[in-house]
Amino acid sequence: MDSRISIVIKIAKALNEKNVKWAIGGSVLLYLKGIVFSFNDLDIMIDGEDVEKAREALKAIGEYHPSDRKSDAKIFEEFTVDGLDIDVISGLVITAYGNTYDCSFKNEGVEHMEIDGVNLPLDSLDAWYEIYSLQGRVEKARYIKDYQLYHKK
């Protein structure tokens, strides 16, 4: 497993201690599911009510970076913890194909993985298939669909 997973665990501990409703998304989600073999940053989906608690938890263990990146999320904040870049996302709305899609964190379909005794909530692969598809990130969407087809329950 990637050595940066220890940083993800540190972040999970901090968020869990503050009782934040959150989940891991993006490439770390795909990595932990065995879909991809590497990741560059950590996308964290946060319940809108818990943004302030998440901000406090991450500031306590890392560095906050004001973001000037354009985002369709109500909250899009960037942090760095031990060299790992973290994107905190809440209230994600994507406009695509002439429509607006609410892709905000709903805490539905979240799975839990435990590493070193720490709970890592993993966001829904269905949610990330939709996000990647709407963003035009066809390759990652296809990875998820292939994984789901192979691992049908």
Residue 90, C-beta contacts closer than 8 angstroms, at least 6 positions apart: 45, 46, 47, 48, 51, 73, 74, 75, 104, 105
pLDDT at site 153:
55
The gap from C-alpha 12 to its chain's centroid, in whole angstroms, comes to 11
Whole-angstrom distance, CA of residue 59 vs CA of residue 130: 30
**Per-residue pLDDT tens for 9-22?**
999 999 999 999 99
The CA-atom distances, in angstroms, between 130 and each of 43, 73, 88, 94, 134 are 15, 15, 18, 10, 6
Tens-digit pLDDT profile for residues 108-137 = 899 999 999 999 999 999 999 999 999 999
pLDDT at 67: 74
> For residues 130-142, b (16+ Cβ closer than 10 Å) or e, as one string?
bbbbbeeeeebbe
The mean per-residue pLDDT over the stretch 83-96 comes to: 95
Domain 5-150 -> CATH class: alpha beta
Is the pTM above the cut of 0.85? yes
Domain extent listing, the chain: 5-150
